[in-house]
């Protein structure tokens, strides 16, 4: 064997190194592979929120919106967003983001919205925004930075229109921090813990749209700082929202004095604590200010309700006054809103408070003429219980058009109530009314009585256009005669079973009906009507949609949408179905009767009935015959069945020859003839059966007259059953043909007679005189039968 050379060993060693390096490289590439997100819709909006990403995932480069909120991304590197030149919206809030590379956003030239709120950014870097010239909205709220930084962070954002900054850690704002921001549509600053502010920091921003300032700490510890910030953003056309403030004492309202001098027109106080003393001082500060809209939301009121100086202030410029979600501590009464205080007020909202009938009377100053220009009042969600009280209090408002007293404690409606003649819209939903009285004003155009306990509505309201009755206990639609101008009716979630065209005929102008979510009985008329209306084929629109109309009964339709129900013709057209069925049955019966008559079925039925009736008598006679001597019961040698038209032959030939023979060698025979031997007054069937039973033989005189004669047929009908049912043998019947007659000439219903003619020899009456002696001899022999 040859020993491997050193070159071979070196080559082998190099190959091993190359293999290991390639394996390690693949492993490194696998470890460094970035996560991906494919939750992008057709509009290229990628929703990758709440997905647990720890780094920025890869998405399509053509994405327009990328939502990475509520993940676990702590850093954004310089190449995480490379290539996203078309991206317009980037949301990174709620990640715990602590580090952003200075050039991380450099490729986002088209970015318009950037949200970095609720992260862990301790410092802001102006390089992040240096290439974002198209940025219009920026949110930096609630990060732990204490100042904005230097050089100015927003210097390159020339198109910025909405800016939100600050948080619990923000301590100072310096002049120049917002350099580059020249105008804004919205500015939000959370400065609850701000300790240092350079006057004029926000003053250079103009025009300035909505401003929201959270100034909890400054109002408590540094009212001068608070005043400076409010002064910098106070313009007549700029709505100001102040949040998280406490107004306790005279000093706490001083920051508003500068705003008052700037003649602000729109002011909102949100989430505040205020005493009665501070409210009075606040009204004094705003005395004479052309304020047009004042909103107070989520307020905690403290004090004893002393309003002495408030009545001397002038806020006649206010058109809209909102007070919502008030929590009252200790004893608190709303002040009397005198005309001097709020002379031009048009909208007053005191909803969701703790007003009672007594405090409401105090607030509205009893019968004193106040709020002459008020048009809209909202007292919903209060503890009011007397409808007559509120109607009396609002009667003085000669311009009032809208009144909302829903979600109150009303349970009784008096027989009459005073109302302003201008009142058009009344909401008393969510009360406990069980009946309607003429207390409601005749001037109403819109009335909401939803969620009460009403069962009927018969009050005439001539100009009413909209009526809302959902959540009551109506069993049927109210009569439209009470609402000649009604256009919209909502009566969902009641106890309606059904309604139809006849129920709506009294509504002259109704074109919008919402009656779903009731327990409908899906009858034919109801299903047909609703399906037609849902398809738009009727004159009324059911605007609450097909899903609101569900069958409750009958049981086999429970839970099915009305528009999918298909009922049978039998159920939906019972009268027509019964009429057609009866007509068809009559036709079939007539047709069947004709057929049965043609096949002589009635004859068979009549024979069966007669036979059953005589069978009982026959049994009785048979029993007597069994007990007695049979020969003693025999009275005739033969019973003769013949046609009346053949009576001449019977009387002139048969009877003389058999009963009065010319020769003494022939024994006279006794014949039973119906004309002579039937008992008068006895049922003919019994006569026939008696004659047959008491005769040794039965002689049938067959001829065309016999077959066609009604009487013969009648007689034979009632006799041949017994004759051929087993009581008598075939020898008991003797057939005499007066004229040539085949069995085919005998009716088919006499099937036993036809059979007998086929199997039994019969006698033919000879026309030749010389052959008649033989005929009589054969007949006598047949009649004597057992005697021979």
pLDDT tens-digit series, residues 151-192: 899 999 999 999 999 999 999 999 999 998 989 999 999 999
Fold of the domain spanning 45-176: 3.80.10
For residue 670 the two structure tokens come to 């006794």
CB 34 within 8 A of CB 21: no
The whole-number average pLDDT for the span 629-644 is 75
What pLDDT band is residue 375 in, cutting at 50, 70 and 90?
A: very high
The whole-number average pLDDT for the span 401-425 is 95
Give residue-wise pLDDT tens across range 23-49: 444 434 434 567 889 888 887 899 999
The predicted pLDDT at position 321 comes to: 81
602: how many CB neighbours lie within 10 A of its CB? 12
Helix axis angle, 684-693 to 601-627, nearest 10°: 50
Helix (DSSP H) and strand (DSSP E) numbers for the chain: 21, 32
For residue 780 the two structure tokens come to 């006598």
The predicted pLDDT at position 343 comes to: 60
Give SS3 for 615. Answer: helix
CB 457 within 8 A of CB 469: yes
The predicted pLDDT at position 570 comes to: 76
* Closest C-alpha to 36, from 67, 65, 57: 57
* Closest C-alpha to 137, from 154, 157, 114: 114
Kindly give, in sequence order, each residue whose CB lies less than 8 Å from that of residue 479, ignoring residues fewer than 6 positions away.
458, 506
The predicted pLDDT at position 22 comes to: 47
DSSP element (H, E) containing 358: helix 357-363
The predicted pLDDT at position 14 comes to: 54
d(Cα 350, Cα 297) in Å, to the nearest integer?
A: 10
The whole-number average pLDDT for the span 749-765 is 72
d(Cα 668, Cα 652) in Å, to the nearest integer?
A: 16
Residue that the structure tokens 């967003």 belong to: 81
CB 331 within 8 A of CB 305: yes
Distances in Å between the Cα of 778 and the Cα atoms of 385, 701, 771 are 123, 15, 11
Distances in Å between the Cα of 384 and the Cα atoms of 28, 358, 436, 657, 678 are 74, 9, 18, 125, 107
What pLDDT band is residue 517 in, cutting at 50, 70 and 90?
A: very high
The predicted pLDDT at position 1 comes to: 38
The predicted pLDDT at position 9 comes to: 47
Distances in Å between the Cα of 488 and the Cα atoms of 246, 424, 542, 574 are 47, 15, 10, 35
Q: What does pLDDT average to over the chain?
A: 84
Q: Which of 14-18, 552-556, 767-771 has the lowest mean pLDDT?
A: 14-18
Burial class (CB in 10 A: 0-12, 13-18, 19+), 473: middle
Tell me 707's DSSP state: H
The whole-number average pLDDT for the span 406-422 is 94
Over the range 149-167, which residues count as b (16 or more CB within 10 Å of their CB) and which as e? eeebbbebbeebbbbbbbb
Burial class (CB in 10 A: 0-12, 13-18, 19+), 591: exposed
Tell me 404's DSSP state: E
**DSSP-assigned letters across all residues of 539-589:** SSEETT-GGG-BEEESGGGTT-BGGG----HHHH-HHHHHHHHHHHHHHHH
CB 446 within 8 A of CB 424: yes
The predicted pLDDT at position 32 comes to: 52
Kindly give, in sequence order, each residue whose CB lies less than 8 Å from that of residue 550, ignoring residues fewer than 6 positions away.
516, 517, 520, 559, 560, 561, 562
Give residue-wise pLDDT tens across range 309-319: 666 677 777 88
Domain ranges of the chain: 45-176, 183-305, 636-784
Tell whether the torsion through CA atoms of 536, 542, 547 and 549 is positive or negative.
negative
Full 3-state SS string of 80-134 = CCCCCCCCCEEECCCCCCCEECCCCCCCCCCCCEEECCCCCCCCCCHHHHCCCCC
Residue that the structure tokens 């676990």 belong to: 72
Percent pLDDT > 90 in the chain is 45
d(Cα 275, Cα 269) in Å, to the nearest integer?
A: 14
Give residue-wise pLDDT tens across range 78-132: 999 998 889 999 999 999 999 999 999 999 999 999 999 999 999 999 999 999 9
d(Cα 201, Cα 218) in Å, to the nearest integer?
A: 16
Give residue-wise pLDDT tens across range 765-782: 988 888 888 988 888 888
The predicted pLDDT at position 567 comes to: 84
d(Cα 473, Cα 434) in Å, to the nearest integer?
A: 9
Does the structure show a pLDDT above 60 at 462? yes
For residue 623 the two structure tokens come to 């029993």
d(Cα 297, Cα 659) in Å, to the nearest integer?
A: 135
Burial class (CB in 10 A: 0-12, 13-18, 19+), 729: exposed
Does the structure show a pLDDT above 90 at 621? no
CB 722 within 8 A of CB 696: no
The predicted pLDDT at position 7 comes to: 43
DSSP element (H, E) containing 19: helix 6-32
d(Cα 457, Cα 412) in Å, to the nearest integer?
A: 15
d(Cα 454, Cα 447) in Å, to the nearest integer?
A: 14
Does the structure show a pLDDT above 80 at 3? no
The predicted pLDDT at position 189 comes to: 97
The C-alpha R_g of the chain, in whole angstroms, comes to 57
Does the structure show a pLDDT above 70 at 335? no
The predicted pLDDT at position 714 comes to: 57
Report how far apart the first and last C-alpha atoms of the chain are (Å, whole number). Answer: 145
Does the structure show a pLDDT above 70 at 672? yes
Give SS3 for 504. Answer: helix
d(Cα 38, Cα 55) in Å, to the nearest integer?
A: 15
d(Cα 569, Cα 134) in Å, to the nearest integer?
A: 69
d(Cα 720, Cα 706) in Å, to the nearest integer?
A: 14
Give residue-wise pLDDT tens across range 221-250: 999 999 999 999 999 999 999 999 999 888
The whole-number average pLDDT for the span 580-601 is 84
Q: Which of 21-30, 371-380, 410-419, 589-598 has the lowest mean pLDDT?
A: 21-30
Tell me 654's DSSP state: I
DSSP element (H, E) containing 55: none
Q: Which CATH architecture has domain 636-784?
A: 3-Layer(aba) Sandwich (3.40)
The predicted pLDDT at position 286 comes to: 85
Distances in Å between the Cα of 707 and the Cα atoms of 208, 713, 766 are 124, 7, 20
CB 93 within 8 A of CB 67: no
The whole-number average pLDDT for the span 364-377 is 83
Query: Which ranges in 475-514 belong to alpha helices (H)?
Result: 501-504
Ramachandran area for residue 96 (φ above 0: left; ψ -120 to 50: alpha; else beta): left
Measured CA angle at 455 (ends 450, 458), to 5 deg: 95
**DSSP-assigned letters across all residues of 712-768:** HHHHHHHHHHHHTTTSS-GGGEEEEESS---GGGS-TT-HHHHHHHHHS--EE--SS
Helix axis angle, 574-598 to 601-627, nearest 10°: 60
């Amino acid at each position: 064997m040859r020993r491997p050379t050193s070159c071979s060993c070196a080559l082998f060693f190099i190959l091993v190194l190359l293999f290991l390096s390639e394996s390690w490289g693949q492993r490194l590439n696998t470890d460094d592979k970035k996560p991906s997100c494919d939750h992008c819709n057709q509009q290229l909006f990628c929703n990758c929120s709440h997905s647990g990403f720890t780094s920025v995932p890869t998405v399509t480069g053509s994405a327009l919106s990328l939502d990475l909120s509520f993940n676990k991304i702590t850093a954004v590197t310089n190449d995480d967003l490379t290539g996203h030149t078309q991206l317009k919206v980037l949301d990174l809030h709620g990640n715990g983001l602590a580090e952003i590379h200075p050039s991380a956003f450099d490729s986002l030239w088209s970015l318009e919205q950037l949200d970095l709120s609720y992260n862990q950014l301790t410092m802001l870097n102006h390089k992040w925004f240096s290439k974002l010239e198209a940025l219009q909205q920026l949110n930096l709220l609630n990060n732990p930075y204490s100042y904005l930084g230097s050089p100015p962070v927003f210097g390159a954002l020339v198109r910025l229109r909405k800016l939100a900054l600050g948080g619990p850690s923000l301590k100072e704002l310096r002049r120049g921090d917002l350099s580059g921001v020249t105008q804004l549509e919205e500015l939000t600053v959370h400065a609850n813990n701000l300790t240092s502010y350079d006057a004029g920091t926000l003053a250079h921003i103009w025009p300035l749209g909505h401003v929201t300032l959270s100034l909890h700490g400054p109002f408590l510890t540094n009212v001068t700082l608070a005043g400076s910030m409010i002064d910098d953003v106070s313009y007549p056309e700029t709505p100001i929202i102040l949040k998280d403030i406490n107004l306790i004492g005279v000093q706490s309202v001083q920051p508003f004095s500068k705003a008052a001098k700037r003649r602000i027109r729109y002011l909102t106080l949100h989430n505040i604590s205020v005493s009665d003393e501070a409210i009075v001082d606040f009204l004094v500060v705003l005395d004479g200010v052309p304020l047009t809209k004042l909103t107070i939301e989520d307020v905690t009121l403290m004090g004893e309700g002393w309003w002495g100086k408030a009545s001397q202030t002038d806020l006649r410029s206010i058109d809209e006054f909102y007070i919502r979600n008030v929590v009252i501590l200790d004893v608190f009464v709303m002040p009397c809103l005198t005309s001097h205080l709020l002379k031009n007020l048009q909208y007053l909202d005191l909803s969701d408070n703790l007003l009672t009938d007594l405090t409401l009377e105090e607030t509205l100053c009893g019968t004193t003429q106040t709020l002459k220009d008020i048009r809209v009042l909202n007292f919903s969600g209060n503890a009011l219980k007397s409808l007559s009280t509120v109607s009396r209090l609002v009667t003085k408002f000669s311009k009032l058009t809208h009144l909302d007293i829903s979600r109150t404690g009303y349970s009784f409606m008096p027989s009459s109530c005073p109302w302003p003649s201008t009142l058009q819209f009344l909401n008393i939903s969510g009360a406990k009314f069980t009946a309607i009285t003429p207390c409601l004003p005749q001037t109403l155009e819109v009335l909401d009585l939803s969620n009460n306990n009403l069962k009927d509505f018969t009050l005439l309201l001539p100009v009413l256009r909209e009526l809302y009755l959902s959540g009551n206990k109506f069993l049927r639609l109210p009569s439209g005669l009470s609402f000649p101008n009604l256009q919209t009716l909502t009566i969902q979630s009641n106890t309606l079973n059904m309604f139809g065209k006849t129920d709506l005929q009294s509504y002259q102008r109704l074109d919008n009906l919402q009656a779903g979510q009731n327990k409908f009985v899906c009858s034919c008329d109801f299903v047909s009507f609703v399906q037609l209306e849902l398809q738009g084929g009727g004159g009324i629109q059911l605007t609450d949609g097909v899903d609101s109309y569900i069958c409750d009964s009958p049981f086999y339709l429970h839970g099915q949408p009305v528009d999918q129900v298909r009922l049978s013709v039998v159920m939906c057209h019972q009268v027509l179905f019964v009429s057609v069925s009866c007509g068809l049955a009559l036709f079939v019966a007539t047709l069947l009767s004709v057929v049965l008559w043609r096949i002589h079925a009635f004859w068979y039925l009549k024979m069966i009935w007669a036979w059953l009736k005589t069978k009982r008598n026959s049994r009785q006679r048979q029993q007597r015959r069994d007990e007695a001597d049979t020969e003693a019961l025999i009275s005739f040698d033969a019973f003769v069945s013949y046609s009346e038209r053949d009576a001449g032959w019977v009387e002139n030939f048969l009877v003389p020859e058999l009963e009065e023979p010319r020769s003494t060698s022939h024994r006279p025979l006794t014949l039973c003839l119906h004309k002579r031997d039937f008992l008068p007054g006895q049922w003919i069937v019994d006569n026939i059966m008696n004659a047959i039973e008491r005769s040794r033989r039965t002689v049938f005189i067959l001829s065309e007259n016999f077959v066609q004669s009604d009487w013969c047929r009648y007689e034979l009908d009632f006799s041949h059953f017994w004759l051929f049912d087993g009581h008598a043998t075939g020898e008991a019947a003797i057939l005499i043909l007066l004229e040539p007659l085949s069995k085919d000439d005998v009716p088919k219903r006499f099937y036993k007679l036809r059979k007998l003619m086929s199997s039994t020899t019969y006698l033919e009456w000879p026309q030749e005189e010389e052959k008649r002696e033989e005929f009589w001899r054969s007949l006598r022999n047949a009649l004597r039968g057992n005697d021979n």
